[in-house]
């Protein structure tokens, strides 16, 4: 069993509890342990960078110092949290004022950039599609889906160093391994407007509406993401005048395919119920165990 330092971030302790629950359950079922980082703090992803540049560095830097003491890779399920911590790790390992100020304020040492990883990377590389396929007890019956990465997981590529920034594939491989049918589309890394959801809701609604329409055009019945802000925004901002498409966290579908008993507790937390879709594909009811 491999243990990772786990940073859930603010969303997974609040509006995205189903992501936290499914992430812990899936990794445990695959033989890996997520050890929540003790005394972690908010990374400031939503606003710190627009208020104070030093705060935008020092908030994630403190978590990187805590993770360094654990001696484990730091795993982050939230794309925004990953981006902030990865960016901070790069800054703190370059010579210059940011490194000097960080060392002065927090003392260091800090976790190196290659040890700051998104949860999707851990499942895709440390577990892999083949092992996931072997653990599948309830194949997803060719459920047609599209994989949505959003802006922050793959950009800027020189910092994130995660998959192809234009055509990422890792989520497709995992979903295909458990019996889903990922569809090809051109919007996998387009912005959903999550950062503008409260300040410019009409602009966000246009972006979300386009993504939902493009997903339907491929024949997909659901969108799958690994970002709590994207998931919430894609659920909240779909137009009310047409049938709304369900939005899953990738860990939820993996857990469902693995036959995890907890899966039925995740669906009530969604704003768009996925139960009718799952029933249509014969994926509701008791565990496969």
Give the least confident one: 48-62, 83-97, 108-122, 215-229. Answer: 48-62
Evaluate whether 44 touches 13 at the Cβ level (below 8 Å).
Answer: no
**d(C-alpha 164, C-alpha 162), whole Å:** 7
pLDDT mean across residues, the chain: 94
Q: Are both 114 and 175 inside the same structural domain? A: no
pLDDT tens for 166-218 read 999 999 999 999 999 999 999 999 999 988 887 888 999 999 999 999 999 99
Residues 6+ apart with CB under 8 A from 110: 61, 64, 65, 68, 88, 89, 92, 93, 102
What percent of the chain lies above the pLDDT cut of 90?
83
> What CATH number did the domain enclosing 214 receive?
3.40.50.11810
Output DSSP code: residue 238: S
**Taking Cα atoms as reference points, which of 150, 138, 143 lies closest to residue 175?**
143
In a domain, 90, yes or no: yes
Q: Are both 155 and 113 inside the same structural domain? A: no
Does the structure show a pLDDT above 80 at 243?
A: yes
**d(C-alpha 217, C-alpha 251), whole Å:** 24
Q: Are both 141 and 13 inside the same structural domain? A: no
Q: Are both 199 and 236 inside the same structural domain? A: yes
Q: Which residue is listed with tokens 């579908």?
A: 253
Evaluate whether 117 touches 76 at the Cβ level (below 8 Å).
Answer: yes
pLDDT tens for 19-47 read 999 999 999 999 999 999 999 999 998 77
Q: Are both 153 and 261 inside the same structural domain? A: yes
Q: Which residues are bridge partners to 4 per DSSP?
A: 34
What percent of the chain lies above the pLDDT cut of 70?
97
> What pLDDT, on a 0 to 100 scale, did the predictor assign at position 250?
98
In a domain, 287, yes or no: no
> What pLDDT, on a 0 to 100 scale, did the predictor assign at position 285?
67
Q: How many domains does the chain have?
A: 2
- Domain containing residue 167: 128-280
Q: What average pLDDT does this structure show over 268-272?
A: 97
Q: Are both 112 and 135 inside the same structural domain? A: no
**DSSP collapsed to 3 states, 152-167:** CCCCCHHHHCCCCCCC
> What pLDDT, on a 0 to 100 scale, did the predictor assign at position 52?
77
In a domain, 186, yes or no: yes
C-alpha dihedral sign at 152, 155, 158, 164: positive
Residue at a domain's end among 88, 118, 148: 118
- The structure's pTM equals 0.95
Give the least confident one: 39-53, 109-123, 264-278. Answer: 39-53
Q: Are both 276 and 151 inside the same structural domain? A: yes
Structure tokens at 60: 């994630």
In a domain, 223, yes or no: yes
**d(C-alpha 129, C-alpha 22), whole Å:** 18
Q: Are both 65 and 196 inside the same structural domain? A: no
Does the structure show a pLDDT above 80 at 289?
A: no
Residue 117's pLDDT band, with cuts at 50, 70 and 90, is: very high
Does the structure show a pLDDT above 70 at 273?
A: yes
> What pLDDT, on a 0 to 100 scale, did the predictor assign at position 50?
65
């Amino acid at each position: 069993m491999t243990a990772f330092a786990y940073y859930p971030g603010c969303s997974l302790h609040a509006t995205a509890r189903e992501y936290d629950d499914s992430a812990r359950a899936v990794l445990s079922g695959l033989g890996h342990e997520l050890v929540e980082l003790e005394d972690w703090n908010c990374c400031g992803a939503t606003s710190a960078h627009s208020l104070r540049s030093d705060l935008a560095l020092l908030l994630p830097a403190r978590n990187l110092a805590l993770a360094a003491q654990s001696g484990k890779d730091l795993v982050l399920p939230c794309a925004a949290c990953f981006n902030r911590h990865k960016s901070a790790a790069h800054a703190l390992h370059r010579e210059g004022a940011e490194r000097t100020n960080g060392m002065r304020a927090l003392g260091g040492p800090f976790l190196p950039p290659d040890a700051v990883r998104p949860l999707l990377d851990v499942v895709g590389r440390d577990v892999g599609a083949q092992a996931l396929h072997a653990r599948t007890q309830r194949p997803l019956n060719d459920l047609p889906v599209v994989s949505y990465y959003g802006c922050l997981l793959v950009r800027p590529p020189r910092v994130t160093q995660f998959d192809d920034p234009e055509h990422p594939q890792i989520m497709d491989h995992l979903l295909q391994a458990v019996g889903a049918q990922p569809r090809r589309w051109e919007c996998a890394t387009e912005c959903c407007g999550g950062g503008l959801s409260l300040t410019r809701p009409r602009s966000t609604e246009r972006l979300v509406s386009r993504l939902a329409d493009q997903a339907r055009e491929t024949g997909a019945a659901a969108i799958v993401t690994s970002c709590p802000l994207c998931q919430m925004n894609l659920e909240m901002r779909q137009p009310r005048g047409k049938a709304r498409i369900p939005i899953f966290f990738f860990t939820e579908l993996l857990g469902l395919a693995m036959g995890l008993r907890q899966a039925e507790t995740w669906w009530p937390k969604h704003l768009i119920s996925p139960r009718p879709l799952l029933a249509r594909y014969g994926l509701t009811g008791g565990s496969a165990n």
